Homo-oligomer: A and B are copies of this chain.
Amino acid sequence: LTVTIQDVAKAAGVSVSTVSRVLNDKADVAPDTYRKVQGVINQLSYSSSLAAKSMRSRRTNVIGLVTNNVKEPFNIEIIRGANRAIDQYGYDLIVYTGQHKVGKEREAWELRQIARLNGSLTDGIIMTAPLAKALPTTFPLVAIDSHLDGFDFPAVIATNHAGALQVMTYLIGLGHRHIAFISGHPYLQSSARRLEGYQEGLRRANIPIRPDLIETGDYSRPAGYHCTHRLLNRPSPPTAIFAANDAMAIGVLKAAQEMGIPIPDELSVVGFDNIPQAMNTDPPLTTVDQSIEEMGYIATKMLIQIVQGEPLEREIHKVQTQLIIRDSCRAI
């Protein structure tokens, strides 16, 4: 069924170790032997089993990307960026994803995947938005975004605070004073920093922070949808909603539409991330760009550096954010 190194050895009339040597381009193989074995390999279109190989040798030349949910456009962009990097450095990429999970279950899942891939298939792992508090640091691992408590390993993070502040300056400049905020997973750096930026913006403008205008979401579209319903049913509803990411902002748009609230006329909406879809919403979404693809690229590059034993310039790589003004906001 499957052709193994043994089959090759037998067919070539050499020992398995010799085949292994030509497989791994070791020196000390007679040119004739090399050619002969190579011939058999091609003929049988043999390829060493990733599983077996990675169990013996530390290097597999594949980078793992563990992501809870490929459905999210954010993660798709990360994959794109990772792909660009592995393309450039000659690695292979394994994207590992499973059933969509939330909360504790997701944390456990993350840890399990790392344990599963580590030391076996993968030279190192990139993890998107890790919810697990303590990620292992004994082997190459780079996070994109990161847990609030997890500062002991390399990560790529956007300038979330500054980005959120820009949003608030913009919104307040438009005359808004009742601005709601829908957070992401509360334990992620990204969400916490965006919330801080939101609060700071209010503070700078001497606008009191209204706890009833702050909702805790989870970066998912339904969360944006449900939080909006709650927000707009408050006694004193907001005139603007700042969602901590675009997915939730799209949920906001949907909820507002269902409630018959025209945007931006009666409600201004801002997102964060600038996912590709953000330009196609109705109306096109004002958001904060953080070039997600670039984050994936940089994270992968960092990981490859670590794998190859090169020193990192910095443990935490910050990527710039930029306010993208489209049509979902309006002066009051």
Interface residues of A (CB under 8 A from B): 1-3, 45-52, 54-55, 69-71, 76, 79-80, 83-84, 86-87, 90-100, 108, 111-113, 115-121, 138-139, 276-277, 279-280
A139 to B49: give the CA distance in the assembly, Å.
Answer: 15
CB contact between A93 and one of B46, B90, B96, B277 (< 8 Å): that residue = B96
Question: With contacts A97-B93, A99-B86 known, is A52 near B280, CB below 8 A?
Answer: no
Copies in the assembly, this chain:
2
Q: Quick one: closest B residue to A69, CB to CB?
A: B83
Which of A54, A84, A97 is most buried by chain B, counting CB atoms within 10 A of its CB? A97
Q: What's the least CB distance linking A48 to chain B, in Å?
A: 7
Contacts of A45 in B (CB 8 A): 108, 111-112, 115
Q: What's the least CB distance linking A229 to chain B, in Å?
A: 26
Q: What's the least CB distance linking A24 to chain B, in Å?
A: 15
Question: With contacts A1-B138, A55-B55, A96-B93 known, is A116 near B47, CB below 8 A?
Answer: yes
Assess whether A120 is in contact with B51, with CB atoms less than 8 Å apart: yes
Contacts of A94 in B (CB 8 A): 94-96
CB contact between A3 and one of B1, B48, B84, B115 (< 8 Å): that residue = B115
Contacts of A86 in B (CB 8 A): 97-99
A238 to B117: give the CA distance in the assembly, Å.
Answer: 53
Contacts of A113 in B (CB 8 A): 47
Assess whether A121 is in contact with B71, with CB atoms less than 8 Å apart: no
Assess whether A71 is in contact with B51, with CB atoms less than 8 Å apart: no
Contacts of A95 in B (CB 8 A): 70, 79, 93-95, 97
Assess whether B87 is in contact with A92, with CB atoms less than 8 Å apart: no
Assess whether A71 is in contact with B84, with CB atoms less than 8 Å apart: yes
Q: Quick one: closest B residue to A276, CB to CB?
A: B276
Contacts of A49 in B (CB 8 A): 55, 115-116, 119-120
